[in-house]
A and B are shown apart, each in its own frame.
Chain A
Amino acid sequence: MESGENISIVSDANVRLWQRFKAGESAALGQLAQVHYRWLYNYATKFSSDPDFIRDAIQELYLELWERRDNLSETAFVKSYLLKALRHKLIKESIKLKRFQEPGQAIFDSACEDMPIESQIIADENSHFQTSRIKGIIKLLSKRQQELIYLRFYQNLDNEDIANIMGLGRQSVANLLHRTLKDIRQIWTPAEFMWALLLFSLLF
């Protein structure tokens, strides 16, 4: 999933693909959809656990771009724009569908307070750290912080893209990220012993 990152439609092949799309060739839409489909699908799983709902939403997203293709600029197919449009759609749709949702489905979409992690550890006695301590720590972050960590370190987007997607100011993203990483650092005593093991397993 790491390759094909942040495709900007500038290279020759992409220019041709773009022209075919503009000319109304449905296969070109398929190829454009192929580029970011996995990233979009993954992001959507953080809002809904219903694969049908997710596939419908992504399908609709691309078909809307298709229907507006005459007035579309190339930025429409940049990853962060697609993620933003999908996020908007998912939140809108899940509000519409609220009655049918099972509890615990929405992962990122609730607006809750960013509580200090320490108090959450105390609050949540059930959350023991599993294989890796940092995994446990990330799961204790607020929804907003988790989404931030996810967009930064899973989708590998920069602060500007993240600000755009989450509808925040760029400075607030930078601040929140800084604070979140600091929070994590404070309670994360990285497993030095594990590192030594890891290094050995890599060397030999």
Chain B
Amino acid sequence: MKDYRFQTVEELATDDMFRTWVIAPTPEISSFWLNWLASNPQKSADVYAARELVAAVHEIYSDELPEAMLQQEIQEIARLAELRKNGKPSSILQVINKPIWRIAAICVLISGLGLAFYKNQNNRAVSTSAKSDIEANDVLIVRENHTTHDMTVLLSDNSIATLTAGSTIRYPKKFTNKVRKVTLTGEAFFDVAKNPEKPFLVYTDETVTKVLGTSFRVKALEKENTVMVLVKTGRVSVYPKTAYERLETKPDHNVAVIVLSPNQQAVFNRKENRLEKGIVIDRQLLSELSDQKELIFDDKPVSQVFKTLQEIYGISIVYDAAALTQCNITAQFSDENLKQRINAICQAIGASYEMVDGRIVISSSGCTQ
């Protein structure tokens, strides 16, 4: 082993092997340094000082970034990079950039506006899945969950709302305003796509919940005396609706707001018109589906994986089956959200995705094996 001659505490404290001894020692490294100490007793004060310095700096400055979150971020970076690749029209939006398509899109938009006007006259609730292609962007889509199980609703900004039975959500077909506003009656879990420039707002009758990109549940059941907001990831601001509206007219006004971090909840008391902050007790409420099940795919064709997800979430996934015939996947999903699952799959097969008209559209050039 190399002969160590140190002049100063600083030199010791910045030596890689010495640092390993302090932070993550192995038996070999410990015994090396103890031997070294024994043969250099005059240096022991420096060694201890350097040890204390390195240990203290690590205690002060360490963070707690979970490995899973790190991996998710890496995947997200790779996914966004794939989406932003130049040259290749990997998304439908890029196709629309061609002039001929632009003209076509404008025609659709105009006829869509007419249709929307007509529909508004009739004051009819519209459902996305069937006739979404020709509606104008500002039209509010209303979806009511008449079923007895959770309903997955895909929003145009790649956010996902999971409605519990009996709940209703209203949202624009496209978020064209400065904010992304949705209105909820009942209960839903939201997995919101990050967009710091366009806050995402969930209105209930009494509260406004504002986020930039995160996941959380809003529970505003008519039969209950409270509205609850429970946060899974990210940071969420909750306002009484009256306070938020005051803020919109007078931006510098001091209003009641509660800022929530993961695993915290806000409870709005309808009778007392009061907001309170607390810790989430029922952790089940922090998962997207009320009966989230573990899924295991062992070297399965990706088309089969998509099929399973379509069934679980009741959504449609559009992909080029021919291009993906070679793609197999091994994956285990437990408490991931739909988005995390789609992310992981796309990462594995080198694909990208978008949410278009309430469907997930996968773009991939296929796998070579």
User: Would you give the 0/1 interface string for A31-43, flagging 1 where the beta carbon is closer than 8 Å to chain B?
Assistant: 0011001100110
Q: How far is the CA of A144 from the CA of B45 in the complex (A)?
A: 28
Q: Evaluate contact between A52 and B54: CB separation under 8 angstroms.
A: no
Closest to B83 in A: A26
Which residues on the A side are within 8 Å of B110 (C-beta)?
Answer: none
Which residues on the A side are within 8 Å of B44 (C-beta)?
Answer: 195, 199
Stretch at the interface among B15-23, B131-139, B216-224: B15-23
Q: Evaluate contact between B48 and A63: CB separation under 8 angstroms.
A: no
Kindly state whether residue A173 has any CB partner on chain B within 8 Å: no
Given contacts A30-B77, A45-B63, contact A149 B57 (CB under 8 A): yes
Stretch at the interface among B67-75, B289-297, B298-306, B326-334: B67-75
Kindly state whether residue B369 has any CB partner on chain A within 8 Å: no
Q: Evaluate contact between B16 and A66: CB separation under 8 angstroms.
A: no
Which residues on the A side are within 8 Å of B86 (C-beta)?
Answer: 24
Which residues on the A side are within 8 Å of B75 (C-beta)?
Answer: 30
Kindly state whether residue B116 has any CB partner on chain A within 8 Å: no
Stretch at the interface among A7-15, A77-85, A151-159: A151-159
Closest to A42 in B: B63
Q: How far is the CA of A50 from the CA of B212 in the complex (A)?
A: 12
CB distance from A85 to the nearest CB of B (A): 15
CB distance from A74 to the nearest CB of B (A): 18
Q: Which of B24, B65, B70, B350 contacts A2 (CB 8 A)?
A: B24
Q: Evaluate contact between A153 and B53: CB separation under 8 angstroms.
A: yes
Which residues on the A side are within 8 Å of B49 (C-beta)?
Answer: 190
Closest to B237 in A: A100
Question: Interface centre among B53, B214, B350, by most A CB within 10 Å?
Answer: B53
Question: Interface centre among B23, B62, B81, B194, by most A CB within 10 Å?
Answer: B81
Which residues on the A side are within 8 Å of B14 (C-beta)?
Answer: 152-153, 156, 158
Q: How far is the CA of A22 from the CA of B147 in the complex (A)?
A: 50
CB distance from A166 to the nearest CB of B (A): 16
Kindly state whether residue A114 has any CB partner on chain B within 8 Å: no
Which residues on the B side are within 8 Å of A139 (C-beta)?
Answer: 60
Kindly state whether residue B358 has any CB partner on chain A within 8 Å: no
Q: Evaluate contact between A134 and B56: CB separation under 8 angstroms.
A: yes
CB distance from B262 to the nearest CB of A (A): 8
Given contacts A37-B74, A42-B63, A135-B60, contact A56 B194 (CB under 8 A): yes
Given contacts A150-B61, A190-B49, A203-B34, contact A50 B85 (CB under 8 A): no
Which residues on the B side are within 8 Å of A158 (C-beta)?
Answer: 14
Given contacts A59-B80, A67-B84, A203-B34, contact A33 B54 (CB under 8 A): no
Kindly state whether residue A27 has any CB partner on chain B within 8 Å: yes
Which residues on the A side are within 8 Å of B70 (C-beta)?
Answer: 37-38, 41
Q: How far is the CA of A176 from the CA of B61 in the complex (A)?
A: 20
Q: Which of A1, A29, A132, A149 contacts B77 (CB 8 A)?
A: A29
Kindly state whether residue A121 has any CB partner on chain B within 8 Å: no
Q: Evaluate contact between A190 and B52: CB separation under 8 angstroms.
A: yes
Q: Which of B62, B74, B214, B259 contacts A34 (CB 8 A)?
A: B74
Q: How far is the CA of A45 from the CA of B64 in the complex (A)?
A: 10
Given contacts A52-B235, A154-B58, contact A38 B65 (CB under 8 A): yes
CB distance from A133 to the nearest CB of B (A): 9
Kindly state whether residue A124 has any CB partner on chain B within 8 Å: no
Q: Evaluate contact between B52 and A30: CB separation under 8 angstroms.
A: no
Closest to A157 in B: B14
CB distance from B322 to the nearest CB of A (A): 22
Given contacts A132-B55, A149-B57, A198-B48, contact A63 B80 (CB under 8 A): yes
Given contacts A2-B19, A138-B57, A156-B14, contact A26 B235 (CB under 8 A): no
Q: How far is the CA of A75 from the CA of B110 in the complex (A)?
A: 51
Kindly state whether residue B151 has any CB partner on chain A within 8 Å: no
Which residues on the A side are within 8 Å of B85 (C-beta)?
Answer: 24, 26
Given contacts A37-B73, A134-B56, contact A156 B234 (CB under 8 A): no
Q: How far is the CA of A29 from the CA of B53 in the complex (A)?
A: 35
Kindly state whether residue B76 has any CB partner on chain A within 8 Å: yes
Kindly state whether residue B205 has any CB partner on chain A within 8 Å: no
Kindly state whether residue A51 has any CB partner on chain B within 8 Å: yes
Kindly state whether residue A90 has any CB partner on chain B within 8 Å: no
Which residues on the A side are within 8 Å of B13 (C-beta)?
Answer: 153
Kindly state whether residue A181 has any CB partner on chain B within 8 Å: yes
Given contacts A29-B81, A59-B76, A59-B80, contact A2 B23 (CB under 8 A): yes
Given contacts A67-B84, A150-B57, contact A52 B20 (CB under 8 A): no
Kindly state whether residue B311 has any CB partner on chain A within 8 Å: no
Kindly state whether residue A202 has any CB partner on chain B within 8 Å: yes
Which residues on the A side are within 8 Å of B30 (C-beta)?
Answer: 202
Which residues on the A side are within 8 Å of B20 (C-beta)?
Answer: 2
CB distance from A21 to the nearest CB of B (A): 10
Closest to B47 in A: A195
Supply 12 A–B pairs (Cβ within 8 Å), ascending by A.
A2-B16, A26-B82, A26-B350, A29-B78, A30-B77, A42-B61, A56-B213, A62-B77, A63-B81, A66-B84, A149-B57, A152-B10
List of 6 A-B pairs having minimum Cβ-Cβ separation, nearest first = A30-B78, A26-B82, A26-B81, A195-B48, A153-B57, A135-B56
